[in-house]
Structure 1
Amino acid sequence: MTDIPRKAVQRTAKLASLPLGVAGRVVGGWGKRLIGGDAEEINAEMAAKTAEQVFAVLGQLKGGAMKFGQALSVFEAAVPEELAAPYREALTKLQSSAPPLPARTVHRVLAEQLGSGWTRRFASFDNEPAAAASIGQVHHAVWHDGREVAVKVQYPGADEALLADLRQLQRFSRLFQTLVPGVEVKPLLAELRDRMVEELDYRGEADYQRAFAKAFHGDEQIFVPKVVASAPKVVVSEWLEGTPLATIIRSGTAEQRDRAGLLLAEFHFSAPFRAHLLHADPHPGNFMVLDDGRLGILDFGAVARLPQGIPRPLGVMTRLALENKPAELLELLRTEHFIRPGMEVHAEDVFDYLAPFVEPLRPERFRFTRRWLQAQAERVSDLRAPDSRMVRSLNLPPQYLLIHRVTLGATGILCQLNAEVPAKSIVTRWQPGFTD
């Protein structure tokens, strides 16, 4: 058996261990209930142990499994504190770490992608990776003209591993649903699959990065490194130095957290207007605060094209919710196909469901907290609550799915930061339909 097939078998075995482990815990939980154990305590214990196993396995893998784990990690703030604490550290590691490739493999990829004389293009090249991602790792180097650069090298066989992982993960998507209340995991997996197929060709990523760099050139808050060279499986771009967002989440001061939150919100809402693109991979490993105070953006593999910017109806819906106009809000939701066909809903019920989501836009500044996000997740996932019934009446049209997922992910990071942000002024400036 060759090395690559052997690794594929090992990866599949690790992923397959997840539902088996969960099944064992469910049986154990039933047993405890039969002898009088407290249901809530048992559920909490099962969820915590499930999460611990899931992220332990995903953290050992690259490809689609790691990518899915990164996507889940931004929703950590929505998980109740008693469940989130045991595996928060595992999530943080998952956002920025993976087993490294040996130097000889990296050199082989560089020779294939940049030519046999690739070493002459660099004044120096560090064989130890500076960072690892889902389908590639990054090396620090110095370009032949003296510029410090980041060299992103795709893992050999990443395409096969990525697609195999996502097929396997889709088989037991219900398992992951318990970890992210209020988030539909199956559509998330389907949407991630579409994005990751695009990510496999680094030339597309380089083109997106060039477009972002042009749109934010000279910006005082956001910095996008320029692309120096690119190939299908290698991207060379300017090197960034700064404090990773994960570090600020873990140990930053209140001032650092608020600053990082402001910059992240500004980037998220302004990019569709300025670049006609949406950065679609919001997790802390893709951002750092530079020494000069700007937010540095590190990865452009997942990007959505928005030629007209963020759709205007989203801004109008938000405004109608803030202005307490339930009848007009319901009419617009039906027009934009946010209400499932044949469903009878009351305007006031729709308004009551959506109003809490726009709370961050009521005051001039809003503090995003884990508790606030947990409350929203609990509200929509409680099967006994009226809001849960409303969820079954609503529909998310395909053209809004990615925007919704990215906004939710960015919101999750803001809550991890516990950041106080002038969200209202940012949305007013960049979201079409919000003020007119």
Structure 2
Amino acid sequence: MGLISRAASLATVPVTTGARLAGAATAAAFGADRDAVYAKATAASVETLTTALAKARGPALKFGQALAVFSAALPPDQAAQLTALTRLYEDAKPQPLKTIERQLKQLPKGVDIDPEAIAAASLGQVHRGTWKDGTPVAIKVQYSDAPKVVKADMMQLRAMAPLVGRLLPTLDVKALVDEHASRLAEELDYTQEAAWQKRFRKAWKPGKAGGFADGSPGSEGIVIPKVHFATETILVTEWVDGTPFTALADEHAARRNAAGRQLARFSMWSPRLVGATHADPHPGNFRLLADDRLAVLDFGSVAKDSGLFTRLFAQTLILTTRGEYDEVLQAWREAGLVSDTTTTEQLMEMLDPDDRPYTREEFTFSKEWLQSRSQQFQDPVQALQGASRLRFPPDYLLEHRAVMGTIALLCGIDATVDFRTVIDGVGDAVPTPA
């Protein structure tokens, strides 16, 4: 989608939805059923919003996926539209090699690049190539207009903020947009991505991640490609062959379970090992190698100084297993995620945690289980009451996305995982009772 058509698509959202809500107010003033007309206007507004974000892809789609965290504040049918954005993965038609020639001139002499891209998104594309010594590499190239695309999308998203605020009144939309803009600016600098990839590679180097609850070395099963070269718009890394996560659903159980075991460890233990979380749980970013190790790609989106939400997730599961529900409330209050007026009963009703992944030696994360967990908010009134008690600071969003995205990926391949071991390895979650 071109820059002008992207802007036009997004610009129509506040205009059309604003008109709908104004029409609802007018109709209510002239005697129409207020709840009915507002419900109809809101439903149409959510549909317009989600359609525009999905069509625009790129930065706008990523913002919609961040909003999906708060979908419980909407009636189930509208929430389903918003959460559907999390199942969309960015793709685009690759640009011809001649359109990125200026960026390619930055490559060192002796580096060859295949003319056909193997993957593309709104801000860049990836080619296979050969490093100076003959090593196969992946070459990621940013489009010259990528900064303009980000700037234009952010302008339109800021214009949408008042609308989103009316649909999700408990959300600090401005703070969310600002956080989104900050993360996108970082993603445009491939030298930062390279630095994070090197840091994760060092932390997950075989033998470095010892001492886990099951006695395994832990890091032996994770592969992070070596960085060969980086500028702001070019990134060259070691090429990795493997089975994409999306294709693992058709593999035999042993392969699926190996992938799930490694992914769960990588996602949940990185805050302790790296002090950061890989925050783009796109299935294309994970490859299962022939020896059942898991390769992790694309470090453009990273949650810095992470661990608060991951530890809270582990705490909630462990304390629920023990029946220590008041301690769950205390943990959420200390994290700043619930108000002082929220009771233990209200929080547990909102969370409705399932402790089986922790109480069992192994647990199968299935699509059916995930669907059953998504039915928590069937009553729109209950959903709105729950949302009014729940706070979610924007700086938690990337880590939340990583943890919840990991669970969704595990369910997508029906992986059986020793999740108790994973949770116990998070670190500093809950001390074992004496």
Same fold at TM > 0.5: yes
| Partner residue in 1 for 2:413 | 417
CA contact (8 A) 2:363 2:418 kept: yes
* Cα separation, 2, equivalents of 1:358 and 1:431: 18
Q: RMSD of the alignment, in Å?
A: 4.5
CA contact (8 A) 1:269 1:431 kept: no
Quote the offset at 1:21 in angstroms: 8.3
| Partner residue in 2 for 1:108 | 102
CA contact (8 A) 2:288 2:294 kept: yes
Quote the offset at 1:224 in angstroms: 0.2
CA contact (8 A) 1:318 1:434 kept: no
Quote the offset at 1:289 in angstroms: 1.4
Q: Tell me the secondary structure at the aligned position of residue 129 of structure 1.
A: strand
Aligned mate of 2:188, from 187, 200, 206:
200
* Cα separation, 2, equivalents of 1:56 and 1:394: 27
| Partner residue in 2 for 1:137 | 125
Q: Tell me the secondary structure at the aligned position of residue 14 of structure 1.
A: helix
Counterparts of 1:44-123 in structure 2, within 5 Å, are 53-54=51-52, 57-59=55-57, 62=58, 64-68=59-63, 95=89, 97-111=91-105, 113-114=106-107, 118=108, 120-122=109-111
Quote the offset at 1:403 in angstroms: 2.2
Comparing 191-200 and 253-262, the one that deviates more: 253-262
* Cα separation, 2, equivalents of 1:204 and 1:398: 21
| Partner residue in 2 for 1:8 | 3
TM-score by length of 2: 0.76
Quote the offset at 1:19 in angstroms: 6.7
**Partner amino acid, structure 2, of 1:193:** A
Aligned mate of 1:405, from 382, 389, 401:
401
Q: Tell me the secondary structure at the aligned position of residue 232 of structure 1.
A: coil
CA contact (8 A) 1:257 1:418 kept: yes
Quote the offset at 1:175 in angstroms: 8.3
CA, structure 1 residues 69+292, in 2 after alignment: closer, same or farther (shift >3 Å)?
A: farther
Aligned mate of 2:146, from 155, 158, 167:
158
CA, structure 1 residues 296+185, in 2 after alignment: closer, same or farther (shift >3 Å)?
A: farther
| Partner residue in 1 for 2:29 | none
CA contact (8 A) 1:71 1:283 kept: no
Counterparts of 1:140-289 in structure 2, within 5 Å, are 140-172=128-160, 189-218=177-206, 219-249=219-249, 251-289=250-288
Q: May I ask how many residue pairs the two structures share in their alignment?
A: 410
**Partner amino acid, structure 1, of 2:6:** R
CA, structure 1 residues 170+227, in 2 after alignment: closer, same or farther (shift >3 Å)?
A: same
| Partner residue in 2 for 1:291 | 290
- Identity across matched positions, percent: 35
* Cα separation, 2, equivalents of 1:20 and 1:377: 32
Quote the offset at 1:84 in angstroms: 7.8
* Cα separation, 2, equivalents of 1:49 and 1:215: 43
CA contact (8 A) 2:255 2:292 kept: no
Q: Deviations over 1:10-55 (max 9, x none)?
A: 22123345678889999xxxxxxx9xxxxxxx99x98998699457
* Cα separation, 1, equivalents of 2:192 and 2:417: 33
CA contact (8 A) 1:322 1:358 kept: yes
Quote the offset at 1:95 in angstroms: 2.4
CA, structure 1 residues 151+80, in 2 after alignment: closer, same or farther (shift >3 Å)?
A: farther
Quote the offset at 1:105 in angstroms: 2.2
CA, structure 1 residues 309+20, in 2 after alignment: closer, same or farther (shift >3 Å)?
A: closer
CA contact (8 A) 1:428 1:435 kept: no
CA contact (8 A) 2:276 2:307 kept: no
Q: Tell me the secondary structure at the aligned position of residue 380 of structure 2.
A: coil
Quote the offset at 1:201 in angstroms: 0.9
CA, structure 1 residues 399+66, in 2 after alignment: closer, same or farther (shift >3 Å)?
A: closer
TM-score by length of 1: 0.76
* Cα separation, 2, equivalents of 1:184 and 1:132: 32
CA, structure 1 residues 345+275, in 2 after alignment: closer, same or farther (shift >3 Å)?
A: closer
CA contact (8 A) 1:279 1:302 kept: yes
Unaligned runs of 5+ in 1: 1-5, 27-33, 35-41
